Amino acid sequence: MSVHDVAARTYGTSSDAYERGRPSYPPDAVTCVVDALSIGASSVVVDLAAGTGKLTRLLVPTGARVVAVEPVEAMRTTLLATVPGIDVVAGAAEALPFATGSLDALVVAQAFHWFSVRPALAEAARVVRPGGGLALLWNQRDESVPWVAELYRLMRWRDRPVPSYEDVDWPVVVGEVEAFSPLEQRAFANDHEVDADALVDRVLSTSHIGVLPSEDQAALAERVRQLVAGFPQRFPFPHRTEVFWCHRR
Ligand SMILES: C[S@@+](CC[C@H](N)C(=O)[O-])C[C@H]1O[C@@H](n2cnc3c(N)ncnc32)[C@H](O)[C@@H]1O
């Protein structure tokens, strides 16, 4: 399976922190995906790179047959604990364990930047049936808020040695795939309510932080706690959820 080494290491050791610290997706973003991809009770939907199931659990109420695909065992274990009874399989985006044209919808949240992008798009085009759909989602922090900008400075975000959503022009790259219609896009406000512990979990479950020596992680956690020391016990961590979708021609 082709999983980036940093992803395998961090998500393999911090799945519980990931579950506690990462934001979910707002209801109107989920409705956008469900409507755009015509997901209903008769649909077969795969949540690829499902992680701990943050998006998976929001698709279950549609009544669709939802299958979660996740390559990292620790993430699958947390997923099964958070979404009991979910159908979860080990697999990677570049070689999906599904027959050609067998899916009505493929959704990928906070993950496509980890894939070998072009092979994964070709694989998506193989497994989604003509008329079916592909949706990509990302939660983006709002760095116009000064403490959020300072948090990402402390995390040395701009020096990180790992791929990121921001590295790829998604409409252009998906637009090169003849099998898919042009990518459409909407954005939704997503204030993630956290306390200091959840914020630390969020930071420590970030891929390039999760591979740091434990003493460096502890020092960063302390600086994060100092950053929000004067805040109310619970406070909003402002995000925007970006939703992209297209259809299989
Ligand atoms: C930031 S997490 C997103 C998890 C979840 N979708 C969410 O919204 O919280 C990224 C996930 O991508 C998975 N991943 C990384 N490389 C992958 C690949 N090549 N194929 C499938 N999943 C991959 C990781 O194991 C991890 O669970």
**Residue ranges of the domains in the chain?**
5-143+162-193+239-247
pLDDT category at 101 given cuts 50, 70, 90 is very high
Q: Could you tell me if the CB of 51 is within 6 A of ligand 1?
A: yes
pLDDT of 180 over the 70 cut: yes
Residue 93 in contact with residue 123, Cβ under 8 Å? yes
Residue type present at position 71: P
Q: Could you tell me if the CB of 59 is within 6 A of ligand 1?
A: no
Q: What is the pLDDT of residue 1?
A: 60
Q: What is the pLDDT of residue 158?
A: 79
Choice between 9 and 106, residue whose per-residue pLDDT is larger: 106
Give the CATH number of domain 5-143+162-193+239-247; options: 3.40.50.2000, 3.30.565.10, 3.40.50.2300, 3.40.50.150.
Answer: 3.40.50.150
Alpha helical stretches, state H, the chain: 5-13, 15-21, 27-36, 56-59, 73-82, 117-127, 146-154, 170-175, 196-204, 207-210, 214-227
pLDDT above 90 covers what percent of the chain? 93
Taking the C-alpha atoms of residue 31 and residue 27, their distance in angstroms, rounded to an integer, is 6
Choice from 9, 59, 72 to test ligand 1 binding pocket (greatest atom count within 8 A of CB): 72
Q: What is the pLDDT of residue 6?
A: 87
pLDDT of 40 over the 90 cut: yes
Q: Ligand 1: which residue has its CA nearest to atom 26?
A: 51
Residue 143 Cα to ligand 1 midpoint, Å, equals 23
Q: What is the pLDDT of residue 2?
A: 76
Q: Could you tell me if the CB of 50 is within 6 A of ligand 1?
A: yes
Encode 103-170 in three state secondary structure.
EEEEEEECCHHHCCHHHHHHHHHHHEEEEEEEEEEEEEECCCCHHHHHHHHHCCHHHCCCCCHHHCCH
pLDDT category at 159 given cuts 50, 70, 90 is confident
Strand 235-247 with 184-194, pairing: antiparallel
Kindly report which listed range (11-15, 28-32, 182-186, 225-229) carries the lowest average pLDDT score. 11-15
- Looking from the CA of residue 47, the nearest atom of ligand 1 is 6
Tokens of 40: 């209903």
Q: Could you tell me if the CB of 107 is within 6 A of ligand 1?
A: no
Give this prediction's pTM: 0.96
